[in-house]
Amino acid sequence: MTARPPELKRVVLIGFSATGKSVLAPYVAERLGWRVVDLDVEIEREAGRPIPAIFEREGEAGFRAREREAVREAAQIDGAVIASGGGVWLDPENRAALAEQGFVITLEARPSTILARYAATEQGRPEVRPLLAGADPRRRVESLKAQRQPFYALADLTLHTDEPEIGELVEEIVAAVERGAGRALDSDSRLRAMREGPGVAPPPVTDFGPDVACVVDAGASRYPVYTGWDLLGRLGEIFDRLGLSRRVFLIADGAVIEGHGETAAQTLRDSGRQVFSYRVEPGEASKSLECLAELYAWLAERRAERSDVILALGGGVTTDLAGTAAATYLRGMAMVHAPTTMLGMVDAAIGGKVAVDLPAGKNLVGAFYQPRAVICDLTTLATLPRRELRSGYAEVIKHALIREPQMLDELERHAVTLLNPAAARANAAAAEIIADMIRRNQRIKARVVSADEREADVRAILNYGHTLGHAIEAVTGFRELLHGEAVAIGLVAAAEIGHAMGLIDESLLTRHRTLLEHFGLPVRTPAPLDAGALLEAMSRDKKVVGGRQRWVLLESAGAALVRDDVPPSVVLEAIDAVASVSRR
C-alpha cells in the first residue's frame, strides 16, 4: 500500500480508446490498495446488456445518461482507480465530478499503437470496433484524437503508453500520485479550468436515437441502419431526428403499398410532411430503363426538388429502382430505404449499390449512391410470402459462410423460429432471435461496405455465390427463380469449385447443401440449363476484369478470397453439378 494525500479520493485514467486505461487500472489499484472501477463495465452491469446493445436500444443520448450516472456513483467512492471511456472526459459534468478530489492522468499513444492494439484484440471476433470499420481507420483515429486532445490536455499528468512495460507504467503512475497529487488538489485554477473546459467545442456527436443496429461509414457518407419492430409508425420521429425534408416521395412495391405503405404515409403526414405515393409492380421486370423513365416522369410532374426525400418501401427491386432514380434525378436527391423483405434488410438496402437491368444482364446500369438512412421494420416480414422469406436467407447463409462461421450453427438451431416471424412477433424471446440475427448480418454488410464502398477490394467477397447465381437469373429471364434462390444454387456451385481446387473439404461442401435445404432453398436448378448460355451470361458479369472471370471462393468457413485462375473444366463441372445442363 502506498501513501496518498488525505484529500485524494481517486485516480482517474482518461484518454483515447486502446491507450491502456482498462489494462492499467487494476494494477494501479492493487499498488494503492484501492478499488478498481471500470466505467464501461459498470454501465454494462447496470444495464444488463453490452454497450453496443445500449446504443442500439437507447441511442447515444441514453448511453451518455447512463455514463453520467456511472461517473456520479464512482465519484462517491473513497479510494478508487477509475478507468473511463474515451468520451467521458468531454462532458463538463463528468469532469467536475471526477476532478474534485481526483488526480487525473491522460494515457496517450500513437495512432499506429492504437490500431495495432485494436487488431490484436479483435482477432476472431465477429464484431469489429466502429473505428476499424471505415476505409481509412488511421485517418479516423488521427482526426478524432486531434479533436479530443484539448480536453485530454486538461489532465494533471500525461503518460505515453507506447513502449514501456505494464510494470514500469504502474510505478510511474504511483510515483506521480505520491509526488504531485497533493499539489494538484491545492490548485483552485486547475479545478476551474477542468470544469470550464479548453475553450473549444467538443467533437460533434450525431445521436441517431434508439434501434440503430449499425452505422455505415462510407467516407463522405455516414448513416444509421434502424432495425426493430413497428418502426414504420415512427418514421416521422426518425425523419425529424435526421433533419429530412417536409416533402416525401414514397416509392413502394405494389405488394405492400396498401398496407405498410399506408402506415408509412400516415405517420409521415402526422409529422407535418407532404407525401406523394408511387406504385412499383412486383418482380424483376420493374428494374428496367422503361420503368425508370416512367418514374422520372412522375417525379417531374410533381416538381420534385433536390432537397426532397425519396423513400423506397419494398424489396430489392424497389430499392434498386428508387435508388437509381434518387442517384440520378436532379443529379441526386436524398434517399431513405425502408426494406420490407429479408433480402432487402440484410443486403440490398445497405451499401448504396443501386441499378437496373438490361436485356444483356442484371444490374448493368446503376451507381454507388448512399442513403441518408435505412429503416427496417421487422413487422413487415410477418406479411412476406414464405418463398420470399426463404429466399432472403440465402444472403444470411452467405454472410455466415464468408464472415461469421459461428452463425452457421445458430441458423441450423433456430431455423423454425427464423422462418416464422408472424408467430415470433408475439413471443419476446423468438422476436429477439430474429432481430438479433438480422442486426448481426447488417453489421457484417456495414463493416464490409465501410471498408470498401465501391467494390474495389474486400467488398467483392459479398459476391460469393452471385457469379453463377446472376447468370442463372439472366438465362431464365428473371422469371423462374427468386434472387436468393439463384444465389443459393450459386453458393453450391462456388463450393464445388472450391472443393475441386483443394481449398475446402468435403464436409464444408456438404454443409452448404444441407443448410440451404434446411431453409427450403434449392441447391439445383429446377430444369436443365444450357452451359453455353450460362458461360455467356457470366462473361458479361461486372466481376469480369481483363476478360478473366473472378470467382469468390472459400478457404474455410469465414475465410473468403477472390480467384481469377479457375480452370474452365472446373467451372463446367460445377455448373453440371447444380444445373443439370445440356451442352452445345
Q: How many CB atoms lie within 10 A of CB 139?
A: 12
Measure the CA–CA gap between 49 and 343, rounded to whole angstroms.
Answer: 28
**Are 147 and 223 contained in the same domain?**
no
Domain enclosing residue 185, as ranges: 10-196
pLDDT of res. 218:
75
* Per-residue cell: 397: 447463409
pLDDT of res. 146:
86
**Are 259 and 176 contained in the same domain?**
no
Residue 225 lies in a domain: yes
Give the CATH number, domain containing residue 525: 1.20.1090.10
> Does 457 have pLDDT greater than 60?
no
Residue 429 lies in a domain: no
Comparing 59-73, 144-158, 205-219, the range with the smallest average pLDDT is 205-219
- What is the pLDDT averaged over residues 420-424? 93
Among the candidates 366, 384, 402, a domain finishes at 384
**Are 174 and 242 contained in the same domain?**
no
* Per-residue cell: 7: 484529500
Confidence category of residue 90, pLDDT binned at 50, 70, 90: very high
> Does 4 have pLDDT greater than 80?
no
Q: Which residues pair with 361 in a beta bridge?
A: 358
Measure the CA–CA gap between 482 and 488, rounded to whole angstroms.
Answer: 10
Strand ranges (E), 56-120: 80-83, 102-108
> Does 582 have pLDDT greater than 60?
no
3-state secondary structure of 551: strand
Give me the chain's average pLDDT, please.
90
Residue 487 lies in a domain: yes
Measure the CA–CA gap between 174 and 165, rounded to whole angstroms.
Answer: 15
**Are 185 and 216 contained in the same domain?**
no
Count of structural domains within the chain: 3
pLDDT of res. 410:
95
pLDDT of res. 133:
45
pLDDT of res. 123:
44
**Are 122 and 33 contained in the same domain?**
yes
Residue 214: CB partners within 8 Å, gap ≥ 6? 224, 225, 439, 442, 443, 446, 447
* Percent of the chain whose predicted confidence (pLDDT) is above 70: 92
Closest by Cα among 19, 52, 61 to 133? 52
* Per-residue cell: 512: 452448404
Among the candidates 361, 384, 407, a domain finishes at 384
pLDDT of res. 190:
93
pLDDT of res. 222:
84
**Are 146 and 285 contained in the same domain?**
no
**Are 485 and 568 contained in the same domain?**
yes
Known catalytic residues?
331, 353, 395, 445, 455, 459, 463, 466, 470, 483
Give the CATH number, domain containing residue 24: 3.40.50.300
Confidence category of residue 280, pLDDT binned at 50, 70, 90: very high
Q: Is the dihedral of CA 383, 385, 390, 393 positive or negative?
A: negative
pLDDT of res. 124:
42
- 94-139 confidence digits (pLDDT tens): 999 999 999 999 999 998 899 888 776 554 444 444 444 444 667 7
Q: What pTM does this model have?
A: 0.75
**Are 61 and 184 contained in the same domain?**
yes
Residue 102 lies in a domain: yes
> Does 340 have pLDDT greater than 90?
yes
pLDDT of res. 455:
54
* Per-residue cell: 578: 447444380
